[in-house]
Amino acid sequence: MGIFRFFAKIYLFYPLTDFFLFMSVSTLDIKVTKVAKSRIAELDQSNIQFGKLYSDHMLVAEYEDGAWKSAEIKPFENLSLSPATTFMHYGQAIFEGVKAYKDPEGNPMIFRPYDNMKRMNRSAHRMAMPDVPEELFIDGLRQLIDIDRDWIPTAPDSSLYIRPFMIAVDEFVGVKPAEKFLFIIITSPAGPYYANPVSIFVQDQYVRAFPGGIGFTKAAGNYGMSMYPTMQIRKMGYDQILWTDGFEHKYVQEIGTMNFFVVIGDKAITPDLKGDTILEGVTRDSVIALLREKGVTVEERQISIDEIAEAYKAGQLKEAFGTGTAASIAPIAKLTYHDMLMELPPMTEWKIMNELKKGLSDIRYGLVADTHDWMLKV
């Protein structure tokens, strides 16, 4: 049998994504140690709080001497680290957010993990950290989810939130790129991140990111610096911040946990990714693709808060929402800029976001055909 016919025969039996995994033979053996007794009884599907309960197992891999040395799926447990561990002092830490769902037959499916892997490695490059290879990120993720598949909730709007992260673990108090790292994946049953439409405060005092910085990465420091301003606006009754650019405090960028969209007239507008200040959201990309398929004009460009305010005054600000892995698609009830309160129309009048949210949800839960090859079967 010729080599082409051999590959063609394999392809008949494997989906496209699985075929490439078949061809990518793992060079990293992943040891598996299972828990003696599952904690699954702690999962109450009628009351799932985001980030409160963690599944039975986690994946831990070690990087040293320029290579990934070991990887293990083992019971979820605390880490034992030196007080001199690098990331605690200098913030050399990155993370990702992924979600797994179950289709109507109960099969686990992961939403766009290859895109998260690529984004994690972009973050790693910027933070002087090693790439996480596909056989570790994807194969490890699939094995972990397969073992803990019972932890994927089936309640409406629920999922299994997956947190891959990497930390620098040199035992050295000195400012230099680390040489030792841990890559870890933990998972947590999740309900809606925002239970209700959110109230947003437009921030023009503090700055999230500048061009040339790390705003485009999922580095831990991006979120650490946002804690104080977020704490202040929550005292004022708001849920999150809409950040503006660091030079003019004029152009909107992203919300603390989400990318940002507005519908002005019949167009959907979202800030473009130029300038290294905005995270390239996987959900953002999915939303843009679905909107364009539905014939909605999408503009990726700079948009100022003044333009949004003028659209509101003219009655043309129809919808506003955030997108992200944790939040999925979160409607915005109101935006506050200085003394101006912009209240959005009732969600029952929204034409774009409601249909969009259902369309994306149907793909994730396997209720419609996945024509984008976004879902990876475990």
pLDDT in tens, 216-264: 999 999 999 999 999 999 999 999 999 999 999 999 999 988 999 999 9
Domain 3-191 has CATH 3.90.79.10: no
Q: Residues 6 or more apart from 228 whose CB is under 8 A from it?
A: 206
Query: Start-end ranges of CATH 3.20.10.10 in the chain?
Result: 198-364
pLDDT at residue 192, as a whole number: 86
Residues of the chain with pLDDT > 90: what percent? Answer: 87
pLDDT at 19 over 60: no
Amino acid at 357: K
Both tokens of 273, joined, read: 């990714």
Dihedral of the alpha carbons of 357, 361, 363, 368, in degrees to the nearest 10: -90
Dihedral of the alpha carbons of 295, 255, 364, 17, in degrees to the nearest 10: 90
Query: Start-end ranges of CATH 3.30.470.10 in the chain?
Result: 3-191
pLDDT at residue 257, as a whole number: 84
For residue 13, name the pLDDT band (cuts at 50, 70, 90). very low
pLDDT at 306 over 90: yes
Return the closest-CA partner of residue 92 out of 224, 276, 221, 214: 221
pLDDT at residue 193, as a whole number: 86
One of 3.40.190.80, 3.40.35.10, 3.20.10.10, 3.30.720.210 is the CATH number of 198-364, namely 3.20.10.10
Rg (alpha carbons) of the chain, rounded to whole number: 22
Highest mean pLDDT among 2-16, 183-197, 361-375: 361-375
Rounded Cα–Cα distance for residues 163 and 326 (Å): 10
Q: Please give the sequence-ordered ranges of beta strands (E in DSSP) within 131-288, or none if there are none.
A: 159-168, 181-190, 198-203, 240-244, 252-255, 259-264, 267-270
Single pTM value for the model: 0.90
Chain centroid to Cα 159, Å, comes to 13
φ, ψ (nearest 5 deg) of residue 282: -70, -40
pLDDT at 115 over 50: yes
User: Given the DSSP bridges, would you call strands 252-255 and 240-244 parallel, antiparallel or unpaired?
Assistant: antiparallel
Rounded Cα–Cα distance for residues 176 and 198 (Å): 41
